[in-house]
Copies of this chain bind each other. A is one copy, B any other.
């Protein structure tokens, strides 16, 4: 079962997703000799527990509950680290963060964000990027990184809206 095929299906074993993401993160950080500290791991877990992208300030109360300091810099630093390791992505159009389902290899992602329920899913944008890269290159523009986000209605909300 690929990551994409579970998109927008709320009936999968999400607890399993979370554990797998955390386990994978631990392994990746270990391999790279990076420290997945308790705060960083907690932030990653909180993000994975939510199907909706989470804003930085939505994470703060949970950090406080877990006994950590909960000032903004704490969570922003954790997020910065997680991003640097490709474990989470920032969704610019939402000012929010979501877990990356494939942090082990670099890739061009695109987010499908439901304007109904707020859930987001990452799909592969390699082919679309090739197209854009070609145009950019023709203009002499050298790509560093990209932001591709699509807002719309997920299957569930589409159905609800049609009723």
Contacts and interface: CB of A to CB of B under 8 A. Distances in A.
Nearest to A153: B142
A112 B137 CA distance: 11
Contact of A112 (B121, B125, B127, B139): B139
A69 B8 CA distance: 46
A132 interface: yes
B152 A144 contact: yes
A155 B131 contact: no
Interface residues on A, range: 35 or more
Interface of A: 4, 7-8, 92-93, 110, 112, 114-115, 121, 123-125, 127-129, 131-132, 135-136, 139-155, 158
24 contacts: A92-B92, A92-B93, A92-B147, A112-B136, A112-B141, A123-B139, A124-B135, A125-B132, A127-B131, A128-B129, A132-B148, A132-B150, A136-B150, A140-B155, A141-B150, A141-B158, A142-B152, A143-B151, A144-B152, A145-B150, A145-B151, A145-B152, A146-B149, A146-B150
